[in-house]
Amino acid sequence: MGRTIFIPDPIDNRLPAYTEWGYNSFGAKIDRNYFLVSNSITPCKILYKNGMLNFSLSGYYNNYIETAMTFSFPIEQIQDYTDLLALNNKKIELAASGCEVTLTQNETTDTLNVIDGELYFQRAQMLFIDDQPNRVILSGVFDFRYLNATDDFPVSVSDGRFDLGINKNVFYAY
């Protein structure tokens, strides 16, 4: 996975613009605070295990809390990072049975009670360098709401977007 390139969104410059260039960037708003990519943390890791794809975004929430948001969902067998091309134009309903979203902060992982929302892989494309496969670029958006575990009020994750170059260094399957 290469370095992160942060191109500000023209409407909300605290978020990265939506791109499909493999800039290794992501961002979202959690209510009014931001969850953003960082140059000091690997932005994405993907694990395929027992029929489930675990798509994890890691960065900082509110500028200082190290955070990982992981989307887990059932999908056909994926054995290699090149198989991620199957995600092209795939929408995942996050409140559906078998799907799970977790949030890890301060070494504590919470499974979120998602009430609605979607993870949409708008584009999955292979990047070739010198006619050799180099990485799969995954680009997409996500928005969802979940109930806060302490008071049952809804929390909104909005304007989520990602543009990531995935290679064998950040993809695992077993």
Assess if residue 18 is contained within a domain. no
Task: Give the number of residues written for the chain.
Answer: 174
Residue 173: enclosing H or E segment and its boundaries? Answer: strand 171-173
pLDDT for 150 equals 87
Of the pLDDT bands very low, low, confident and very high (cuts 50, 70, 90), residue 157 is very high
Assess if residue 6 is contained within a domain. no
Domain coverage including residue 45: 25-173
Assess if residue 32 is contained within a domain. yes
Assess if residue 80 is contained within a domain. yes
Provide the number of structural domains found in the chain.
1
- Per DSSP, the residues of 54-89 read EEEEEEEETTTEEEEEEEEEE-S---SGGGGGGGTT
Assess if residue 11 is contained within a domain. no
Compute the distance between CA of residue 94 and CA of residue 111 in angstroms, rounded to an integer: 12
User: What would the pLDDT profile of 110-147 be if each residue is shown by its tens digit?
Assistant: 999 999 999 999 999 999 999 998 999 999 999 999 99
Q: Model-level pTM?
A: 0.95
Assess if residue 64 is contained within a domain. yes
Assess if residue 39 is contained within a domain. yes
Compute the distance between CA of residue 129 and CA of residue 56 in angstroms, rounded to an integer: 26
